[in-house]
Structure 1
């Protein structure tokens, strides 16, 4: 696991939005939050990018829904998507103020 974390830390992608406009985008912090989560720093990961946990939950649920075809799975995915959009927007608004 240490090799994976070291690889991720050494190969972070640059944010074009931040590079050209000088302001963080709505996804800034996600890579660092994933690295913090892999290191076991859950609180630090949440502070870095709060939507990471609901995004992970949504993608895990999506995988199960695709495999088992839940009856109301599409509705739950829709609500998880809306929740993620709200969290991302609120986090972005807090960052830029």
Structure 2
């Protein structure tokens, strides 16, 4: 696994910490553990699948779907990061 530069320099997790381990858990078939490691894993995969399929098939309302998926991912990542940092500080 690649080390987190933010964690090495500052000693705290970044919003992306856990993504690599979550993908590894997902490939091993440990779906609940993958979600617990990084809650945005499934919406990120949904976004990647949509973006890839949109390259092949041009969807009529692709832009609002992309924006919605991006906003959902950002919200999930920020909320899970805040909760993770809150648990670390307590």
TM-score (norm 2): 0.93
- The CA deviation string for residues 1-27 of structure 1, in whole angstroms up to 9 with x for no partner, is xxxxxxxxxxx0000000010000000
- 2:63 corresponds in structure 1 to 74
Q: 1:45, CA displacement in angstroms?
A: 0.2
Structure 2 unaligned spans of 5+: none
Q: 1:65, CA displacement in angstroms?
A: 1.1
Equivalent-residue separation in structure 2 for 1:32 and 1:63 (angstroms): 23
Equivalent-residue separation in structure 1 for 2:23 and 2:48 (angstroms): 14
More RCO (CA 8 Å, sep 6+): 1
- Which stretches of structure 1, 4 residues or more, deviate above 2 A after TM superposition? none
Q: 1:67, CA displacement in angstroms?
A: 1.1
Equivalent-residue separation in structure 1 for 2:29 and 2:55 (angstroms): 29
Q: 1:66, CA displacement in angstroms?
A: 1.5
- The CA deviation string for residues 38-74 of structure 1, in whole angstroms up to 9 with x for no partner, is 1110000000001011000001001111211101011
Deviates more, 1:60-69 or 1:82-91: 60-69
Instruction: Compute the RMSD of aligned alpha carbons.
Output: 0.5
Task: Map 1:3-82 onto structure 2 (within 5 A).
Answer: 12-82=1-71
